[in-house]
Structure 1
Amino acid sequence: MHEVSDFADPSRISAVVDGLRSVDGAQVSTDTAFSSLTTLRLGGTPSAVVRCSTTDAVAQVVRRLDDENVPLLIVGGGSNLVVADQPGALVAVVIEADAVTMSTRGHGLESTAAIIEAEAGAVWDEIVQMSVDAGFGGLECLSGIPGSAGATPVQNVGAYGAEVSQVLDAVQLYDRASGEVEWVSPESLELSYRYSNLKFTDRAVVLAVRFELSIDGMSVPLRYGELARRLGVDEAEAAAGEIRRPSDQVREVVLELRRGKGMVLEPEDRDTWSAGSFFTNPIIDESEVETVRAKVAERRGADEAVTMPVFPAGAGQEGKAKLSAAWLIERAGFPKGYPGQGAPARLSTKHTLALTNRGESGDGTPTTADDLVALARDIRAGVHAAFGVTLEPEPVWVGVSIDG
């Protein structure tokens, strides 16, 4: 959880914020709620919201707030935030710097790769669309993911068998301790499944990202079974990790799959008022897999236990296995749409891994962050009671915790 100071002096914060109005590229407001900044459309009003249209403005604003010890939260697309109804005395710094450039590494026929460089506030799916339209490959499996470019390395965004770490070339950071701006390598971020050493820390702010993509217009190897099948690829071939398809075809199918699960933002579709996949797929010791399977058999029967999805945990996690959070949630007794009509916060009716804001309860009371938090706690407790597996939330928590 992102900690918010309980003893920050509102008058002092107000004075500091007023000084930010002189920063070129910064716009200050004091009446903007987090509900208008997040895809969950939840969260109260912070002390101020500072929108930064340039990376220089981001660095200056963060530096001034840090110098004055004013609590702050960096906000991009707001797709990975669970914010309290009363977030406390803090300043939201919204990154809106969104310039994108494309080039190639090498010259002419000697070009070896495509390079896309994007400022942190660029809309992620627009970058993916640009890359595909330009005939590049590498980002197509990450189509339709809400949010901004700056968030992608922080949590090593991934979907359909691909991760940002596969194509990340460099990240530009503002170091909050030293005040320096520098480009760093992916290796320095210790990237792993939905993790980097930037996540859940305040040590640096992502200002820009750079990706190295293929110039042949072909996708990354197709490894995700559902996607491979839709593209006519045999699962055994997909498992070998060598089959690729044109990036535009892969993007089209990925968007279809995501829409079918309510994972593409649609203003009128309450199933998309979410933070995407709310829980990460749990990673456990391989020695624990059969224990979990036995608990599934006890609860759901031996035939279903045999079908429990188990995957390799990935590079650097030898001896570990990855389970499916969505599969466990459903088998623990939480169907799509749980807990049913009239609940202000519910599981998506399209996908059990998305917790959604329905706008209001059956009696017309507006949904609150507390409603969503209560649902998250209910589901996590139920999965643990059923199978002994503790689900970990993927979003950043601000002013509230799933642990109570």
Structure 2
Amino acid sequence: MPEIAPRPLAELTTLRAGGTPARMVEATTAEELVDIMRGLWSAHEPWLVVGGGSNLLVGDEPFDGTVVLVRTHGIERLPDPRDGYARVRVQAGHDWDALVAYTVAEGLGGIAAMSGIPGTAGAAPVQNIGAYGQELVQTLTEVELLDEATGDVSTVPAADLALGFRTSVLKHHYGSVPLRPAVVLSITLDLPIRGHGERVVTGPQLRAALGLEADQAVTLEWIRETVLATRARKGMVLDDADADTWSAGSFFQNAIVSAAFARTLPAECPRWPLAPELDPVVVIPLDRFDGVVAPIVSSEPDVKVSAAWLIEHSGLRKGFKLPRSRAALSSKHALAVTNRGNATAEELAELARFIQGRVQSEFGLLLQPEPVLVGVEL
């Protein structure tokens, strides 16, 4: 087993918090990763897999187990069964933004709007990453998984992962365990071949974020550069010199609520229906028609509401911090809990709990954390 000297998890996570584990190993190939995990599972040892460390808040106490650093990398072009598409298989430890840069350089679309998202390719399907109207579910074809229950390696279609808004069967949600405990070994994407010329952006959310007219054409390179600049202005691109980026990105998920609940929120709270509201169609076979048509029951789609707006309008402005705390909201983005320098995991958690309480008191809604919490309670 490729064991290395343990390092504090504060050095390996973007929130810069976390104690030193008892053991640490590094996997540089998929085969090493499989062997390491099978060994830990057979020995029933506590374990924690860490890729880019961008979606983790780890407690201050030493982790009593083995931390597995996933350092696999590589992109493989594969034949695609569909004309006009390219298929790429990416190793789990490959840096996500490096993958996006590769696809843009190759003239491949589908993920340019997700430029600048920190972390690794293997973490991407776990919470179905997304930004500005693009989500991984739109391009993910399959993943290669190592199942904890059996120790088997299998190729699983994306349709079997229950990919939803920042969720999947692989995600360890706060207060629960994954529906399918497994380690991602690789992901496979089908990406449209766009080339390097200008094209009209079809997604309305992406057009709005980029300030584009409905018929305005731009290149993939322009989309990537503009998204990176937009994220940087919000402190959402990692920068060692900027404490506003010492975070896990958006700490709380945008809330998914019923349309009825959404109407109880102030009208100015940003919201987006999750599905179009269509008129239901009822088909009755002629041999069963008795001349009576039952009333049609129509249901409204759920609504996604802005967690950042809820936080700011509960009285917690950008830069807010508790007295004597080294944790604060980003001065650029109210959804990012940041480490202003040597903050403990408990200080970060204390601020998160305070935010939850204020939003719940003001709007009756309990925000859910987006990062995985290990040894920390909210």
Q: What TM-score results when the alignment is normalised by the length of structure 1?
A: 0.82
> Which of 205, 212, 222 is equivalent to 1:224?
205
RMSD: 2.1
Partner AA of 2:184 in structure 1: V
Check conservation: 1:104, 1:111, Cα contact below 8 A: no
- Per the TM alignment, residue 341 of structure 1 is displaced from its structure 2 partner at its CA by 9.1
Mapping of 1:159-198 within 5 angstroms? Answer: 159-198=131-170
Cα shift readout 1:213-247 (whole Å, capped 9, x = no counterpart): 0112358732326x53634224xx7xxxxx87422
Residue 56 of structure 2 is matched in structure 1 by 81
Cα shift readout 1:178-225 (whole Å, capped 9, x = no counterpart): 111111101100011000000012621000001100112358732326
Residue 57 of structure 1 is matched in structure 2 by 32
Deviates more, 1:51-60 or 1:111-120: 111-120
Cα shift readout 1:13-33 (whole Å, capped 9, x = no counterpart): xxxxxxx3xxxxx3332x311
Residue 210 of structure 1 is matched in structure 2 by 188
Partner AA of 2:363 in structure 1: F
Residue 5 of structure 1 is matched in structure 2 by none
Residue 11 of structure 2 is matched in structure 1 by 36
Cα distance 1:137–1:349, how it changes in 2: closer, same or farther (>3 A)?
A: same
> Which of 365, 375, 378 is equivalent to 1:399?
375
For residues 244 and 63 of structure 1, the distance between their equivalents in structure 2, rounded to whole angstroms, comes to 50
> Which of 265, 268, 272 is equivalent to 1:311?
272
For residues 116 and 244 of structure 1, the distance between their equivalents in structure 2, rounded to whole angstroms, comes to 26
> Which of 118, 126, 129 is equivalent to 1:154?
126
Does residue 137 (structure 1) correspond to residue 109 (structure 2)? The answer is yes
Residue 354 of structure 1 is matched in structure 2 by 336
Residue 325 of structure 1 is matched in structure 2 by 307
Cα shift readout 1:55-87 (whole Å, capped 9, x = no counterpart): 111111111111010011111110000000014
> Which of 213, 237, 240 is equivalent to 1:267?
240
Does residue 99 (structure 1) correspond to residue 77 (structure 2)? The answer is no
More helix by share: 1
Does residue 115 (structure 1) correspond to residue 87 (structure 2)? The answer is yes
For residues 78 and 255 of structure 1, the distance between their equivalents in structure 2, rounded to whole angstroms, comes to 20
For residues 66 and 138 of structure 1, the distance between their equivalents in structure 2, rounded to whole angstroms, comes to 36
Mapping of 1:273-284 within 5 angstroms? Answer: 273-284=246-257
For residues 63 and 30 of structure 2, the distance between their equivalents in structure 1, rounded to whole angstroms, comes to 26
Which structure 1 residue ranges, 5 or more long, are not aligned? 1-19, 21-25, 238-242, 294-305, 360-365
Cα shift readout 1:142-198 (whole Å, capped 9, x = no counterpart): 000000000000000011111000000110001111111111101100011000000
For residues 371 and 219 of structure 1, the distance between their equivalents in structure 2, rounded to whole angstroms, comes to 46
For residues 32 and 152 of structure 2, the distance between their equivalents in structure 1, rounded to whole angstroms, comes to 14
For residues 114 and 200 of structure 2, the distance between their equivalents in structure 1, rounded to whole angstroms, comes to 11
Cα distance 1:50–1:343, how it changes in 2: closer, same or farther (>3 A)?
A: same
Partner AA of 1:203 in structure 2: P
For residues 314 and 193 of structure 1, the distance between their equivalents in structure 2, rounded to whole angstroms, comes to 12
Residue 8 of structure 1 is matched in structure 2 by none
Per the alignment, in what secondary structure is the counterpart of residue 207 of structure 1?
Answer: strand
Which structure 2 residue ranges, 5 or more long, are not aligned? 173-177, 278-298
Per the alignment, in what secondary structure is the counterpart of residue 153 of structure 1?
Answer: coil
Residue 17 of structure 1 is matched in structure 2 by none
Partner AA of 2:304 in structure 1: K
Check conservation: 2:132, 2:209, Cα contact below 8 A: no
Check conservation: 2:321, 2:328, Cα contact below 8 A: yes
Deviates more, 1:53-62 or 1:244-253: 244-253
- Per the TM alignment, residue 289 of structure 1 is displaced from its structure 2 partner at its CA by 1.5
Residue 292 of structure 2 is matched in structure 1 by none
Check conservation: 2:3, 2:23, Cα contact below 8 A: no
- Per the TM alignment, residue 342 of structure 1 is displaced from its structure 2 partner at its CA by 6.2
Alignment length (residue pairs): 348
* Percent of residue pairs identical: 41
Partner AA of 1:308 in structure 2: C
Check conservation: 1:83, 1:398, Cα contact below 8 A: yes
For residues 68 and 97 of structure 2, the distance between their equivalents in structure 1, rounded to whole angstroms, comes to 22
